[in-house]
Amino acid sequence: MTNRTNTSDIALQRRQFLRMGIAGASFFAAGGASQLSLAQTDAPFHSVKNLGPLQPPDANGLMLPAGFRSRIVARSGQPAAAASSYRWHSSPDGGACYATDDGGWIYVSNSEADLRRGGVGAIRFDAVGNVVDSYSICDGTSRNCAGGATPWGTWLSCEEFDNGQVYECDPYGNREAVVRPTMGTYSHEAVAIDMANDCAYLTEDTPDGGFYRFVSEAGMPDLDNGRLEIAAVVEQEGQKFIAWIQVPDPSAGVVPTRRQVPSYTPFDGGEGIALHEGVVYFTTKGDNRVWGYHTDTQRLDIIYDAATSSNPILTGVDNVVITPAGDVLVAEDGGNMQIVAISPDLEVFPIVQIIGQDRSEICGPAFDPSYQRFYFSSQNGVTGKGADGITYEISAV
């Protein structure tokens, strides 16, 4: 089994991060010297604006733009790496990538299995993209749905059930996962870290779910001390703004978190979330909307609504990832089994489609550190069962 880097020691990472200060934060979050600058616009996935139309399905059943190819890197129940005894988990869901010291990277993926059979798995790639290791970084949890990467190099895995928690995991496999109860007890979906404002934004996957903000008391990356707030939307001069109200009991010992603040605004099935240049993008599957929250002004916009869009090809909105150029990529839970891009000028177009897997959903979209490769999973594969999940890689020919 490949030796795993010690870079992931969470305590060490946090001390290093704090010493670096905010000026170095983006460098550390980007994976250090092993990741391309976000300004390097010739990377295949720096922008998806001009990828072109989808071509007929390839041998793996994926419709891709011309000039791209796919490979399967893992199947549920099978070892992802020949040298590893870890069998890739069932029901793969949210995911992210992390750079390694040898020029390779790691893709982490949640398992949405229930009854404490969930958790998080990881695949390690070498500098040329060979799979060299796979292992668990969290186990004994339930319905690990989406989550979010932190700038200090950890993965926040979110449990999606009424008593769900957030677990901070080490992608490199050297430290056990740690629960972060101050981030609330509820049906978690996803989380995005906002270093500039020392907070994290979180979604809740229920029809009357809240949109939350955890504010770190000592400043990020401290996730143990702080307050949990829930959004109440107010209208001023035809625009929507968010007022944040503290949740009295984040542990939900007696009353569910969202019920503790009567004036909160329900969001219909909160799903994926990501932050880009001061805007928090998140999806709500109940009404097929993509939202944009401006952290500086607290304004809330609807950037896509299937009910009113002139090109309503995006339905079943779920996980979100954003390119360096600002394209918001949304994976479909059902729909046409596509990953659909919303460009900065609000053009809507597909970049991937899976054929023959109508009883599945697309999960875990993530780019490798150099934006040369793109990863995602089909949670239920061809059979429609979580035990048959498939994880893919897309790259340029």
Instruction: Report the 10 Å Cβ neighbour count for 106.
Output: 26
- For 301, the token pair is 């916009």
| CA–CA gap between residue 110 and residue 157 (Å, rounded) | 7
299 close to 293: Cβ distance less than 8 angstroms: yes
What the chain holds in terms of domains, given with CATH numbers, is 8-396 (2.120.10.30)
Question: In one letter, which amino acid is 286?
Answer: G
- The pLDDT tens digits of the residues spanning 109-149 come to 999 999 999 999 999 999 999 999 999 999 999 999 999 99
Strands 131-139 and 144-149: what pairing? unpaired
pLDDT of the residue at 36:
40
Please report which confidence band the pLDDT of residue 171 belongs to, taking 50, 70 and 90 as the band edges: very high
> To 10 degrees, the CA torsion angle through 21, 155, 38, 339?
-150
238 CB contacts (<8 Å, ≥6 apart)? none
| CA–CA gap between residue 122 and residue 89 (Å, rounded) | 10
pLDDT of the residue at 41:
78
- For 210, the token pair is 């809240």
| pLDDT > 70: percent of the chain | 90
Instruction: Give this prediction's pTM.
Output: 0.92
- The pLDDT tens digits of the residues spanning 12-39 come to 444 444 433 333 333 233 333 333 444 4
| CA–CA gap between residue 161 and residue 48 (Å, rounded) | 34
- For 157, the token pair is 């895995």
- DSSP secondary structure string, 70-128? EEEEEETTSBSSTT--PBPPSSEEEEEEEE-TTS-EEEEEEE--STT--EEEEEEE-TT
pLDDT of the residue at 28:
30
Q: Is the dihedral of CA 235, 240, 244, 247 positive or negative?
A: positive
Which one, of 396, 394, 388, lies nearest residue 352 by Cα?
394
- The pLDDT tens digits of the residues spanning 49-78 come to 999 999 999 999 999 999 999 999 999 999
| CA–CA gap between residue 274 and residue 135 (Å, rounded) | 26
More confident call, 40 vs 48 = 48
| CA–CA gap between residue 374 and residue 237 (Å, rounded) | 41
